[in-house]
Amino acid sequence: MTLPLDTSIEARDVQREIYRRLGGSERVAIVFRLNALVRETAMAGIRRRHPSYADAEVRAAFQRLTLGDDVMKKAFPDQELVEP
């Protein structure tokens, strides 16, 4: 296992124990929150790089990042690829 560079071994062990004590639904809730934070961060980066993009273009650029060009072309054959 790779150790985080900004966390001591003791802190990592405490965090692991806390996660072990959580129920399944609590761990799933954490995963969903982290997923939402990553998505928001990625979309903020797209907005920063392309301030003129409308919301639909930001979503399309994010989809391209997460799905890749091949899937985007198959899923949305009439839509031009938006630069992330």
Report pTM.
0.74
Q: What was the pLDDT predicted at 3?
A: 72
Q: Which two tokens stand for residue 3?
A: 């150790």
pLDDT of residue 44: 98
For residue 57, the model assigns a pLDDT of 96
Give me the average pLDDT of each 10-residue run along the chain (84 residues).
80 90 92 96 98 96 96 93 94
Q: How many CA atoms lie within 13 A of 49 on its CB side?
A: 13
Q: What is the pLDDT of residue 63?
A: 95
Cα dihedral 47→58→80→63 (10° resolution): 120
Q: Whole-angstrom Cα distance, residue 54 to residue 74? A: 23
